[in-house]
Amino acid sequence: MKRIAVLFLTVVILFSALSSCGIARGEYFVRTRRDGMGRLCISLARVDKDGKHLSDEKLHTIYEDACRIFSDTYNDLSDVPESGLYLFNVEFDTVLDIPKGIGDAAGYAINLSQMTEGLYEPCAGTVSALIKKDPTPSKKALEDALSHVGTEHFSIDGDVLKKSDPKAKLDLGPLRDAYALKAAVEHLTNSRCAYGTVTFNGTAGVFGKKADESPFEVKLSSGHPGVFNITEGYVSLVSEHFGTAFDFSDGVTDPALECAAVYSLDPRVSCAMAAVAYVNGSDSLMEVYRKGELSFEAALTEKGGGLTLTKYADKNGLFVPEINEAETQESEEVSK
């Protein structure tokens, strides 16, 4: 099977990827933070779970706590000095006692790679580092970097993470974003705030229920119009400037799609499958979808403007396209 992975060579900041989830600002306390990680926007309803008004001071405290939890989780799963992942990626034989959070993320990443037959590749850190240093490396340098790619170099035994190849590196990529977003959403779910949304770069998560129980509208950017109507879960959008698509046979290549939007109750699935679809295309994502091991629905914008939907993406108003003069094509799976 042809494998293409996304290499996260730069910080990804998709300011226009998602709208404010259908939010009217008067109803919400909205704060946005931009830094080296990207753009984090948190919108909090101005009422508590009993319907009583929450002051801006209380909402700001809830917001600050959510930001701190998001940042702590994000940094812990990034390859930055002093993080558990950074220490593990140092080039020597490693048997590392790891915190539970890192172990869960690394173990899930490896399992996800195996479930998708390598379409999602978290073990390409050596290639990412090489391309970041030299966008057009020599054939020998690239072959050497590729020799250290693969889940077979890693194993997890309880709280111990092992690697058999000293140079092998983990790059959690979209899973890092997913874990950080999930941590913030879980904190907000348990806070006094009744409901709201969290968006980070190209992913949106929601928590709580509106008084009228209406869904949150997660609107895609104007270049890839459409709306996901959700009452729980996460939507991830991947489009231009997301990262570098890397073909393991031919090197850096163009992504297969204009845009990939994936909904799932699990942010790890939505983030990873959006990346897989964007660089590998509709057919590859549909192969994963048919297996039924991962639960998600997707709306995929093909190059040229066509729209491919998974089987239940447009059922019960989950996804509503807003595409003019573009044929919406259902996948082979849908027509069965």
**Position with higher pLDDT, 86 vs 288:** 288
Q: Which of 171, 187, 221 is the endpoint of a domain?
A: 171
By residue range, what is the domain housing residue 132? Answer: 84-171
Q: Which of 108, 141, 171 is the endpoint of a domain?
A: 171
Q: Are residues 184 and 163 in the same domain?
A: no
Q: Are residues 162 and 181 in the same domain?
A: no
| pLDDT band at residue 292 using 50, 70 and 90 as cut-offs | very high
Long-range contacts of 141-150 (CB under 8 A, 24+ apart): 142/251, 146/248, 149/121, 149/123, 149/124, 149/248, 150/123
H or E element, residue 332: helix 332-335
Q: How far apart (Å, rounded) are the C-alpha atoms in residues 114 and 123?
A: 11
- Residue 75 included in any domain: no
Task: Give the distance between the most distant pair of CA atoms in the chain.
Answer: 65
Contact assessment for residue 296 and residue 271, using Cβ atoms and an 8 Å cutoff: no
Per-residue pLDDT tens over the stretch 270-280: 999 998 898 88
- Residue 76 included in any domain: no
Q: How far apart (Å, rounded) are the C-alpha atoms in residues 30 and 28?
A: 6
Q: Are residues 282 and 203 in the same domain?
A: yes
Task: Provide the number of structural domains found in the chain.
Answer: 2
In this predicted structure, what is the pLDDT of residue 283?
93
Q: Are residues 269 and 203 in the same domain?
A: yes
Residue 14 above 50 pLDDT? no
Q: Which of 171, 188, 222 is the endpoint of a domain?
A: 171
In this predicted structure, what is the pLDDT of residue 85?
77
Query: What count of residues does the chain have?
Result: 336
- Residue 185 included in any domain: yes
Q: What's the order of all strands across the beta sheet hosting 4-7? A: 4-7, 244-247, 251-253
Q: How far apart (Å, rounded) are the C-alpha atoms in residues 16 and 13?
A: 9
Average pLDDT, rounded, for the chain: 81
For residues 151-166, average pLDDT: 82
Residue 13 above 50 pLDDT? no
Q: Are residues 40 and 97 in the same domain?
A: no
Helix (H, G, I), strand (E, B) or coil at 322: coil
- Residue 36 included in any domain: yes
Q: Are residues 63 and 135 in the same domain?
A: no
In this predicted structure, what is the pLDDT of residue 245?
55
Per-residue pLDDT tens over the stretch 116-126: 988 888 887 78
Q: Are residues 40 and 186 in the same domain?
A: yes
- Residue 287 included in any domain: yes
**H helices then E strands: how many in the chain?**
9, 18
Q: How far apart (Å, rounded) are the C-alpha atoms in residues 244 and 228?
A: 26
Residue 233 above 90 pLDDT? yes
Per-residue pLDDT tens over the stretch 98-112: 666 777 888 899 899
Q: Are residues 196 and 315 in the same domain?
A: yes
In this structure, the number of other CB atoms found within 10 A of the CB of residue 261 comes to 29
Residue 22 above 70 pLDDT? no
**Position with higher pLDDT, 103 vs 141:** 141
| Helix, strand, coil percentages for the chain (3-state, nearest 5) | 35, 30, 40
In this structure, the number of other CB atoms found within 10 A of the CB of residue 258 comes to 17
- Residue 40 included in any domain: yes
Q: Are residues 166 and 180 in the same domain?
A: no
Please spell the DSSP secondary structure of 123-142, one letter per residue. Answer: --HHHHHHHHH-SS--HHHH
Least confidently predicted of 88-92, 151-155, 273-277, 305-309? 88-92
- Residue 50 included in any domain: yes
Return the CATH number at 292.
3.10.520.10
Q: How far apart (Å, rounded) are the C-alpha atoms in residues 283 and 132?
A: 29
**Position with higher pLDDT, 259 vs 158:** 259
- Residue 289 included in any domain: yes
